[in-house]
Protein backbone atom coordinates (compact mmCIF):
# COMPACT_ATOMS: atom_id res chain seq x y z
CA UNK A 1 0.00 0.00 0.00
CA UNK A 2 3.03 2.25 -0.36
CA UNK A 3 1.36 4.03 -3.28
CA UNK A 4 -1.46 4.99 -0.87
CA UNK A 5 1.06 6.37 1.64
CA UNK A 6 0.91 3.33 3.95
CA UNK A 7 4.47 2.12 4.41
CA UNK A 8 5.88 -1.06 5.96
CA UNK A 9 6.04 -0.76 9.73
CA UNK A 10 3.14 1.70 9.98
CA UNK A 11 0.56 1.02 12.67
CA UNK A 12 -3.01 0.96 11.36
CA UNK A 13 -6.02 1.69 13.54
CA UNK A 14 -9.46 0.49 12.45
CA UNK A 15 -12.85 1.85 13.47
CA UNK A 16 -15.09 -1.17 12.95
CA UNK A 17 -18.17 1.06 13.36
CA UNK A 18 -17.51 2.61 9.93
CA UNK A 19 -19.10 0.64 7.10
CA UNK A 20 -16.58 -0.01 4.31
CA UNK A 21 -17.66 1.47 1.00
CA UNK A 22 -16.41 1.21 -2.56
CA UNK A 23 -12.87 2.57 -2.92
CA UNK A 24 -12.18 2.62 0.85
CA UNK A 25 -8.91 1.19 2.14
CA UNK A 26 -9.73 -1.82 4.32
CA UNK A 27 -7.98 -4.40 6.44
CA UNK A 28 -9.40 -7.81 5.55
CA UNK A 29 -8.89 -11.17 7.17
CA UNK A 30 -9.28 -13.90 4.56
CA UNK A 31 -8.65 -17.55 5.40
CA UNK A 32 -6.70 -16.50 8.55
CA UNK A 33 -4.45 -14.07 6.65
CA UNK A 34 -4.66 -10.29 7.01
CA UNK A 35 -4.24 -7.91 4.11
CA UNK A 36 -4.60 -4.17 3.48
CA UNK A 37 -6.24 -3.39 0.16
CA UNK A 38 -8.66 -1.02 -1.55
CA UNK A 39 -12.25 -2.29 -1.64
CA UNK A 40 -13.83 -2.30 -5.10
CA UNK A 41 -17.49 -3.11 -5.68
CA UNK A 42 -18.60 -3.19 -9.31
CA UNK A 43 -21.81 -4.73 -10.65
CA UNK A 44 -22.15 -6.94 -7.57
CA UNK A 45 -18.57 -8.24 -7.79
CA UNK A 46 -16.33 -7.49 -4.82
CA UNK A 47 -12.54 -7.31 -5.07
CA UNK A 48 -9.66 -6.24 -2.87
CA UNK A 49 -7.24 -4.27 -5.02
CA UNK A 50 -3.62 -3.51 -4.09
CA UNK A 51 -2.11 -0.09 -4.60
CA UNK A 52 1.13 -1.76 -5.69
CA UNK A 53 0.88 -2.92 -9.33
CA UNK A 54 3.20 -5.87 -8.64
CA UNK A 55 0.45 -7.53 -6.56
CA UNK A 56 -2.75 -9.04 -7.95
CA UNK A 57 -6.31 -8.15 -6.90
CA UNK A 58 -8.24 -10.65 -4.78
CA UNK A 59 -11.73 -11.48 -6.05
CA UNK A 60 -14.01 -12.22 -3.11
CA UNK A 61 -15.94 -15.48 -3.47
CA UNK A 62 -18.47 -17.30 -1.31
CA UNK A 63 -15.92 -19.99 -0.45
CA UNK A 64 -13.64 -17.57 1.42
CA UNK A 65 -13.68 -17.44 5.23
CA UNK A 66 -13.72 -13.93 6.73
**DSSP per residue over 2-59, as a string?**
GGGT--TT------TTSPP-TT-EEEEEETTEEEEEEEEEETTEEEEE-SSTTS--EE
Per-residue pLDDT of 9-51, as tens digits, reads: 999 999 999 999 999 999 999 888 899 999 999 998 999 999 9
Per the structure, the complete domain to which residue 16 belongs is given by: 2-59
Going by C-beta distance under 8 Å and a sequence separation of 6 or more, which residues neighbour residue 19?
none
pLDDT at 65: 73
Q: Is residue 32 part of a domain?
A: yes
| Domains contained in the chain, number | 1
Residue 25 pairs in a beta bridge with: 38
Q: Is residue 66 part of a domain?
A: no
Model confidence, pTM: 0.82
**Residue 52's CATH number:** 2.10.109.10
Q: Is residue 65 part of a domain?
A: no
Q: Is residue 16 part of a domain?
A: yes
Q: Is residue 48 part of a domain?
A: yes
Q: Is residue 47 part of a domain?
A: yes
pLDDT at 13: 94
The alpha carbon dihedral of 22, 25, 27, 30 has a sign of positive
Amino acid sequence: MKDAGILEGYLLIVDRAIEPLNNHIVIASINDEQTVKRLRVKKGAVSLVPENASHKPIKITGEMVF
